Amino acid sequence: MSHLLILGGTTEANALARAVAETGLRATYSYAGRVEAPRDQPIPMRVGGFGGVTGLVDYIHSNNVTHLVNATHPFAAQMSANACAACAKTGVPLAALTRPAWQPVDGDNWRHVPDIAAAVAALEGASQRVFLAVGRMHLDDFAAQPQHDYLLRLVDAPTDPLPLPKAQVVVSRGPFTKERDKALMEQHKTQLVVSKNAGGTGARAKLDAAHDLGLPVLMIDRPVLPPRTELATPADVLRWLRHSGVNLGV
């Protein structure tokens, strides 16, 4: 019997879970456990790290996983590398469900940096009002630039003191709209937006808002991931599963 493991935590993984649930295929959705209340899924869920490549190999064996789809965020480089390594070791077919990177359009004022460290370095200088849209995990890195007035949007309210002395927190998990993001940035008097190049529609609103408001964006480019089969939509994944010998019964 086939068993699909979906590495999730993204809008794309959620859409895939819905599509897979309709087929009746045995599948499990895996969350890292980064947020307090992960969204419910229409397929069984597990939460928490596997314990590196060895742990993922053990999980694959003990749960008879036959196919793996990595639908994690494009910045989840460690999990993506572990998935490639574990599938190479076990012979389990692997595909990634990915989304194209955002591209600037006419009138956008983006400065590209290769990674978080370069984004931190680029914030050297006089105090500005910065919408820091990089998620909770990297806030400590920006403690090296404490002079700015930061606007942070987080999925959960912080429980520990923030590493940034001047920060306003908005708790929201989206989806976001351009109009509401414009209002948020106007109210904060944002002068600069810092964003990862996540791609997709869910988090694009802040870039469209920055465009309309004429604000510069410090764009953190994606990490380079190991080569793998990349698919664009849940329908592509279902086709890939069929070609890999899975009987989807539809």
Ligand X SMILES: NC(=O)c1ccc[n+]([C@@H]2O[C@H](COP(=O)([O-])OP(=O)(O)OC[C@H]3O[C@@H](n4cnc5c(N)ncnc54)[C@H](OP(=O)(O)O)[C@@H]3O)[C@@H](O)[C@H]2O)c1
Q: Which residues bind ligand X (CB under 6 A)?
A: 7-10, 30-32, 34, 49-52, 55-56, 72-73, 75-79, 82, 135, 137, 196
- Name the minimum Å distance from CB 232 to ligand X: 17
Q: Which is nearer to ligand X, 7 or 87 (CB)?
A: 7
- Name the minimum Å distance from CB 198 to ligand X: 7
Three-state secondary structure of 28-81: EEEECCCCCCCCCCCCCEEECCCCHHHHHHHHHHHCCCCEEEECCCCCCHHHHH
Reduced to 3 states (helix: H, G, I; strand: E, B; else coil), residue 150 is strand
Helix pair 77-90, 52-62: axis angle to 10 deg: 50
- Name the minimum Å distance from CB 234 to ligand X: 16
The residue nearest ligand X at its CB is 49
Q: Which is nearer to ligand X, 73 or 148 (CB)?
A: 73
Dihedral in degrees, nearest 10, Cα atoms 72, 77, 83, 88: 140
Q: Which is nearer to ligand X, 52 or 104 (CB)?
A: 52
Quote the CA–CA distance of 207 and 185 in Å, as a whole number. 11
- Name the minimum Å distance from CB 218 to ligand X: 15
Q: Which is nearer to ligand X, 164 or 203 (CB)?
A: 203
Give, as one character, the DSSP assignment of residue 219: E
